[in-house]
Amino acid sequence: MYLKKALWAPTEGEDGVDQSPPSPAVSELVSSLNRQRLYREVTLALRTGLRDARADFSFLRVRGLRNILKFLRSVAESEATIRLFLDTQSIPQLQVVPVLFQNTLRQSKSDPVLNLDHIFSVEPMQITSPATDCEVALALRVLEGCCLLNRESTALAHQQKAIKVLLNILSTHGILEQGACLDALISIMLDSSANQMDFEACRGIDKIAELIKDKQGDENIRLKCGEFLLLLIGHVNGRDRSPMATIHEDIRRLLGEKSASLIWAASQFGSTLDPEQRLTALHIQARRVLESLELY
C-alpha cells in the first residue's frame, strides 16, 4: 500500500504558485480528503488480499497472503494507518484472522484434493488444493503481524482455537512452518490471558521442551525454542496476573534446575537496550540456554 501524492496536495517551488499558508478551512478539508482516501486504500488492499486468501487454489491463497503481509508492513510505518487498520478489524468482512484459520491453518497435508463423497453426485465437485508449506508459513507471519498491531486480533485467534491449531502445526510440519509458528505463538499470547490459559491447558510447554531437547533436531529451531522460552518468561508470563501459574515449575521439571535458573535470569535482559541490541542479546542468551542443556 504505497500511496501516490494526492492531486489536491500542495505543490512545492512551482513558479506562480502562492506559497502562503492555506486557511484553516482549506487545511481541514485537505486533511479530511486525505483521511478518506487513505481509508479507501486500506480497505481496498484488505478486500483484494482477503479475496485471494479465500480462494480454492493454493497459488492464489499464497498471492493473497503475500499481499496482506506487505500491506501489514506498510501499515506499521505510521500511527495513522495503524488506527485505520484497527478500525477495519471491527468489520467482519475485513477481519484477517478468521480467514487465515478457515482457509489455510486448519488444512492438513493429508487433506484430500478431491472430496470423494461427491464423486458420484450430480452436483459439480468443488476442488480445493491443500495448503503448501510456503502458504502455512505465510499465514503464520500474517497472524503474527495482525496480533502485534491489533490486540483484538488475539481475541479473534482465541475464538478460532489458535493455540491448539498452532501446537498441532508445530508437531506435524517442517522447519519453515515451525520457525514461523514459534513467533506467532508469542504474538497471540502477549496480553491475552485466554490464549495463555489455552497454552497451559494444551501442555504447550511440553512440546517446546521436546523440541529444544532433541539433539538430532534442527539447531535453528532449537535456538528459536530457546528464544521462545526467554520471551515467554520475560515478556508474556512476566505481566501482572499471568494465568500461567505453573510455567516456572514446568520448565524446571522438563529442562532441569540449572537450565530453568538460567532461563529465569536471562529472561530479564534488555530493559534499557534499543531494539537491535535486545535482539542480539536474545540470540546470545538463547545460545547459552542451549549450551546448558548440552551439559544437562
44-94 pLDDT, tens per residue?
999 999 999 999 999 999 999 999 999 999 999 888 889 999 999 999 999
Distances (CA, A) of 202 to 45, 133, 162, 285: 36, 24, 11, 27
What confidence tier does 29 reach under pLDDT thresholds 50, 70, 90? low
pTM of the model: 0.82
Instruction: Give me the pLDDT at residue 136, please.
Output: 97
Judge residue 143's burial from the number of C-beta atoms within 10 Å of its C-beta, 0-12 exposed, 13-18 middle, 19 or more buried: buried
- CA pair distance 158, 164, nearest whole angstrom: 10
pLDDT of 270 higher than 70: no
Task: Please state, rounded to an integer, the average pLDDT across all residues of the chain.
Answer: 82
- CA pair distance 158, 196, nearest whole angstrom: 10
The domains of the chain are located at: 31-111+130-201, 203-296
- Contact between 185 and 204 under an 8 Å Cβ cutoff? The reply is yes
pLDDT of 239 higher than 60: no
Distances (CA, A) of 283 to 26, 211, 230, 278, 286: 52, 17, 10, 9, 5
136-171 pLDDT, tens per residue?
999 999 999 999 999 999 999 999 999 999 999 999
Q: Give the CATH H-level superfamily of domain 31-111+130-201.
A: Leucine-rich Repeat Variant (1.25.10.10)
pLDDT of 208 higher than 90: yes
Could you tell me which residue, 111 or 65, shows the higher pLDDT? 65
- Contact between 143 and 187 under an 8 Å Cβ cutoff? The reply is yes
